[in-house]
Structure formats: structure tokens, C-alpha cells
Amino acid sequence: MAGLCDTAPAAEAEAKARILKHVSTLSRGWPGDCLDDAQTVRLVNAGGTAPPLFWTFNSGGELPALAAQLPTSQPVVGMRSLNQIVPPDKRATTPALLDLATHYADTLLQRFGTGPCLVGGNCQAAEVAYHIAIRLLAAGAEVQAFVTLDAEWQLPLPVPVKLIFGRDSDRNPMRTLSDAQMKLRHDWWSAAFAGIELAETDGAHGQYFQPQNVPSLARQILSARQEAPLRGRAAAPGWTLRAETDGQIGLTLPPGALVERMDRLRIVPVLDGGGRQPPATTGYSGLIRAAGLVDDCVQFRLPRPPAARLLPALCLQGQGPLSWPVSSLALEGQETLGGG
């Protein structure tokens, strides 16, 4: 029996090596200095003195196109997403997502330490960038901002977030949503992040790295840099969660709390309460608004799925999560759960 158990770490290591090999093959020929033995992380403008830009791309031509529009003083690290490696409907829940992000973050910390940096990614690559960002934050890195391109980010982060969309993109909520819908989105973003900025860049989806559009993108990315990088915040006020016998759960929240219920969730990749170890859990599938901003300490009754996990993200308007990394709760066969 012990022998069977011993095979699990070996299988996990083999799976991680296989993903890194896929990424290395698809990023072969990318410009810059290779920072890792797996040859998946590339540094352009290595002699630059500005805080580095850590950007996750989806294809080979994107890094050189962006780097050509950056000053030589701006180091840029290019990493690849799981595009063409994992099917789109499985990327959010595959262990490969966390394996890849952990490898990237470890490489970045080894090369750059915990100094100021800018983290981001375009489209589906933004999900990998998010996992990189939370690992850098957990290690004490000064993340100046998290930046996405054509990715409408929803998960809480205690740093300023800049959402960039193409002026001609069908994914641009500023062009496709009503004023009322945009207000709801903005209310969520301003509560979940330490700051929120929406911006437009030249082009439509899939065209941003073309010669006529990439100068605009480079300017928007670099302008997201904040002069006062943020670190982890103080502990949040307490909350309690209790499983009810009638198929519901009862949640008590303090003032200023914001909570999302996540059905069929392995878990949003948060870190443990100590803030040092990355999670062993994987991604999420679907967000359903369960409660908005809370003015007073109140209780909610939420439907309880057969097997689900809940991420209580305690946030304040314009500050993001009060405690980072936030804690997570599992609703699987336990009657009483609590934390703070």
C-alpha cells in the first residue's frame, strides 16, 4: 500500500515536467535570456534598471512585438500560457495551471527577488498571470499592479488592477454593456481590488500585437505602474460559516465584507492563512453573486450544493481584500466552519 502512495509525487512530477516540455517546445525561438532550466521563461532588456514587467503571452510573436515598443531600460519577462496545450474548457481546473504558475513565480523570485514588479497577461494568459501574482504577493513581492488585456477580471486582489480592452473588441464591456451594467461591474471591481482603472487600446481582439496597434498597448501597460507598491494587509475581521440541516448554509459577515459563492468549485487558488505556501487546490468554474457589500454585520442563507467550496473574500471599497492571502472554506461533510 505504501508503494502505491509513493507513486503519487512521482506522477505529479512527471505531469509537471510534461507540461513544461510542451511550453518549452512552443516557446522555442522566443527572444531574450532564458532564466530557467526548462527554457520556458525569457528575459528581454536584461540590463534595464526599471522594475521588471512580467507578462504572460499566448503565442510566439507577441513577446518580440511588445519588447520592440519598450525602452531598453524596461526589462520584460515573457512566459507562455496553456494555449494549444490544454483545451479551453479545462484550463481553469487543470493542475497544470498551478504547476505552471508556480514554476514561473519561483523562477521570477530567484532572478528578481521581491522588488517592485508589474504583472499581467492577455486574454486567456491572464489566468496564469493571476496565479503568478498571488504567489509573488505571498512571497512578499511588491506588485505595483495587475494588468489584463481583453480579460474581464473578477477575482479579488489587494493591488491596483488595470483592465485594458481593444477599442474595436467585441469583449470590451465599455462598448457592449449598458451604463447600469457597467456600474454593477465597477462596484464589484472597486470593492475587490485596491484600485481599478479601465482603459482602451488600439485594435480588436487578436490584433493587439500587430505593428499598427502594439505601440498603444505598450503605453497602456507601462502606465499602470504605481509609485507606491502594495504588500500584504493586516488580518481581516472574523467571519463564521455554519452548515444548516435544511440544505442551506448560514454565513455571518462583518461590516465591509464581500462574498462570492462558487458552485462546483475545487477552489479559487488562494493561499493558506500563513501566507507562505501555495494552495494544493485548483481553479474555479463559475461565479454567482451571493451577497454585495455589507453595511452591518448580517446573516445570509445560501443554497448549499452537494459538494462545494466557498471563498469568503473580505474586502473594503478601494482597498481590496483586508487580509491577503485570504482563507478558504470547504463545505464537504462538515457541520461547522469558521475563521478570521
C-alpha cell recorded at residue 276: 507562505
CB 276 within 8 A of CB 285: no
Identify the pLDDT of residue 316: 63
- 170 burial level (CB within 10 Å; 0-12, 13-18, 19+): exposed
Identify the pLDDT of residue 250: 47
Identify the pLDDT of residue 317: 63
β-sheet bridge partners, residue 299: 252
Three-class DSSP category at 188: helix
User: Treating both helix axes as pointing N-terminal to C-terminal, what angle do 95-112 and 125-138 enclose, rounded to 10 degrees?
Assistant: 50
- The sign of the dihedral angle between the CA atoms of 23, 26, 28, 29 is negative
Q: Phi-psi region for residue 240, left (φ > 0), alpha (ψ -120 to 50) or beta?
A: beta
User: Treating both helix axes as pointing N-terminal to C-terminal, what angle do 2-26 and 95-112 enclose, rounded to 10 degrees?
Assistant: 70
- The sign of the dihedral angle between the CA atoms of 308, 313, 317, 318 is negative
Q: What is the mean pLDDT of each run of 10 residues along the chain (340 residues)?
A: 53 89 95 96 97 96 97 97 88 81 96 96 94 86 94 82 96 94 83 86 97 97 71 41 45 49 29 29 28 38 44 60 53 36
Edge-to-edge, what's the strand order for the sheet holding 248-253? 298-303, 248-253, 239-243, 336-339
Identify the pLDDT of residue 158: 80
Q: What are phi and psi of 40, to 5 degrees?
A: -120, -10
Identify the pLDDT of residue 194: 82
